[in-house]
Structures are given as structure tokens and as C-alpha cells.
Structure 1
Amino acid sequence: MSSTNFAIRMITVDCEDPARLAAFWSQATGCPVAADYGDFVMVGSVPALGFQRVSDVTPGKNRIHFDGGGEDREALVRRLRDLGATEHETRNVPGLTWTTMTDPEGNYFCVGNPEG
């Protein structure tokens, strides 16, 4: 990698309750909470996930979202729902099925898996 390439080391999400969201994403990813500074909490995933308290969370749909998945999309969706996520809809195109969800603060993410 060139020294002028931009390497993503952390994705930070503005939120109202950093500890709550970090706990959700820690459980969802199986990665530990790596640091808790009160108004900023990090999950030790790669890249790291940061949750930063802000006084005015942007309303509406987030412009960037996480895409993830696993071997059994339906079981994963159920597990994430049990952790506090909200399931919205399942879509598919040839070769891919995904479910749109939101985390406990309403941030969208997708759970998908290739077919076949």
C-alpha cells in the first residue's frame, strides 16, 4: 500500500447513547468493546467501530450503512432482532438476498448472503 492511500481504520457513528450502541454492535459482531471514554465508545472490530455522542443526531436515513452477513441469513436476522434490531424488508436480485434492518438508534444496515 502506498503511503498516500487512504486506509479506513475506524467507522464512527454519531449517536445519542454510545454505550448502548457499542454493546449492540459488540454482541452483533462478536468483537469486544475495546475502549469506553463515556462520550465515545469503540468496538474492536476491523475496521474498528466508534460510537460518538452528539447533541444533535442527524434525522432521517443514514447516508452510509453497514453491509454484513453470515452463512444463515435468516438465523442471523432473528439473532439481531433479539439483540434489539428492527427488521424492515427482505429483497433479492439474482444471486443475492438481503434484509434491511435498523440498530437500536435507527441506523440502517443490511444482512445478506450470496445464493448458491
Structure 2
Amino acid sequence: MALTLGMITTDSADPVPLAAWWAKQFDAEVADPYGGEFLLVRGGTLPLALAFQKVDDPTPGKNRLHLDLGAPDVDAEVERLVAGGATIVGRRGEEGFSWVTLKDPAGNEFCIAAADEAAAEL
């Protein structure tokens, strides 16, 4: 068996603005083939598609799955994301490896670490 990862999907009560927000962060494009019910974000710096699907009752509480993103300048990227509508949850880790946890405008958590630190940890 050989599985491949096709996309990462996020449930949302209002997926249209959320897909647009994430597309902006990755300089990507939004495709809306299902009239706001299921949107795809592709291109830009994304290695695969992000999908956003409309659900009447998103799962409450902390999301179980989140994106771990890398950036060459974490502080500058966090500043850019916060200016665009993200909120900081906390700065974590220690001197050898640290990251920042944020929430997108819908409250979904994601993390950013230095691109070289994240790769070194793998």
C-alpha cells in the first residue's frame, strides 16, 4: 500500500472568508466549485491543497490536527500574520527549538518555527 496526502481539510461554519485568509497567507488561489460549500486553496507556496468545507456545527474546543509551518524569520512572519487577522496563543519551546502558536480568524491553531529548526528536528 502507498498512501499519499492529497489535501488538508478544515471544517468551518463560514469557509469562504477563511479560505480567502489562508490563500492570502500563502500567496495562493481559491477555487470555489461548490458555491461556498467546499473551497480549495492551491498554488503559491503551498506544497499541497488546503480545503475548507462548510459544516453546520464545527467541532468545539482545540483542533486535533494543526499545521506546522516554517519561516526563515519567525518574528517577521508572526507580525505579518497578526496584522492580517491571526492571534498569538503563545511562544513555546526552548533555546534549541522554539515556535509560536497562533489562531487563524476562525480560531484554528497553527504553529510557526524557524524553517531550519523545524527541518533539523525531523
TM-score normalised by structure 2 residue count: 0.85
Shift of 1:25: 0.7
Structure 2: distance between partners of 1:17 and 1:97: 32
The whole-number CA distance in structure 1 between the counterparts of 2:19 and 2:96 is 32
Conservation of the 8 A alpha-carbon contact between 1:12 and 1:51: yes
Gaps of 5+ in 1: none
Aligned counterparts, 1:52-67, within 5 A: 52-67=53-68
- Residue identity over aligned pairs, in percent, reads 45
Stretches (4+) displaced over 6 A: none
SS of residue matched to 2:82? helix
Structure 2 runs not aligned, ≥5 long: none
Quote the RMSD (CA, aligned, Å): 1.6
TM-score normalised by L of structure 1: 0.90
How many pairs are equivalent?
A: 112
Provide the rounded CA distance (Å) in 1 between the counterparts of 2:60 and 2:20.
22
Provide the secondary structure at the position in 2 that maps to 1:109. strand
Q: Deviations over 1:40-86 (max 9, x none)?
A: 11100322000000001100000000000211100100111111111
1:103–1:109 contact (8 Å) kept in structure 2: yes
Equivalent residue, structure 2, for 1:106: 107
Whether contact under 8 Å (1:90, 1:99) holds in the other structure is yes
Tell me whether 1:84 sits opposite 2:81 in the alignment: no
